[in-house]
Amino acid sequence: MFTESLSIHRRIFEGVFKFAGQLRQVELSKKEWVLGGNASVSYQPAIDLREAIEYDLSREKEFDYSNRPITEVIKHLSQFVADLWQIHPFREGNTRTTAVFMIKYLHSMGIPATNDMFKEHSWYFRNALVRASYKGLNISPTTEFVEKFLRNVILGEKNELRNRDMLVGTSLPNPTTQSAAEDSPKSNICTLNYTLEELAVLRCIETNPKITQKEMAATIRKSERTVKTITSNLVEKGIIIRRNGRRNGWWEII
């Protein structure tokens, strides 16, 4: 996974930066708009970059996603991506590289994430990562904004992503309270605590109700036997139902 991040940066920025795919050898400091333009996140020292990345990735490999509710999964992923981003291993292009890495990582878990959300809300994504990484100015790090973003990516929710809600030093209404009234998720599968594997199957069904279990298995990179177990469990829980028989039927999310 370490070499994957270097490869991603090289593929994106080859021909743009001379240092594409290379760890930085200089220290970084960037004043952030979301922090009032007066402060920078404390990035990892250049001498420790490889060790820091390998440490975060090794911890991630130890995390067991099985049977965890999706809300817990999203909270964990939010902290994981924020920790990776805070390392800032490259002189430029860290947020874009982090986004591509995250998309590929979600794909490896069977979540059909696309670049659309990251492209459309790239500034929000960066500001959310800043707020998840910065301590000072009488604020503490919080992943709530990254979580909001990832709920849109992973669950298909339609939470409003506004940069001004994250701006330090404003007297705007609390964004968490505000979102409860304003944000109305439009997906049929975004309100219950599913496991990551169950969510992957449900996203397949939502996209194509006539999808076969064999096609699901190929999409989420699990065995067909595992998919059959997941769909059986979802049927038993009353979450999905099979309509019109096995051969010519379709799945319906109840």
Q: State how far the Cα of 157 lies from the Cα of 165, in Å rounded to an integer.
A: 18
What's the pTM?
0.79
The separation between CA 74 and the C-alpha centre of its own chain, rounded to angstroms, equals 7
Per-residue pLDDT 10s for the chain (254 aa) are 778 899 999 999 999 999 999 999 999 999 999 999 989 999 999 999 999 999 999 999 999 988 888 899 999 999 999 999 999 999 999 999 999 999 999 998 888 888 999 999 999 999 999 999 999 988 999 999 999 999 999 988 899 999 999 999 754 444 443 333 334 444 555 555 678 888 888 888 988 999 999 999 988 888 899 999 999 988 888 888 998 887 788 999 88
Question: 229: Cβ–Cβ under 8 A, 6 or more apart, which residues?
Answer: none
Topology of 196-253 in CATH?
Arc Repressor Mutant, subunit A (1.10.10)
Architecture of domain 2-182: Orthogonal Bundle (1.10)
Nearest Cα to Cα of residue 8 among 91, 101, 80: 101
In the chain, where the domains are located: 2-182, 196-253
Q: State how far the Cα of 124 lies from the Cα of 129, in Å rounded to an integer.
A: 9
Question: 63: Cβ–Cβ under 8 A, 6 or more apart, which residues?
Answer: 76, 80
Q: State how far the Cα of 26 lies from the Cα of 47, in Å rounded to an integer.
A: 9
Q: What CA–CA distances, in Å, run from 93 to 36, 97, 124, 184, 212?
A: 22, 6, 16, 33, 40
The separation between CA 36 and the C-alpha centre of its own chain, rounded to angstroms, equals 26
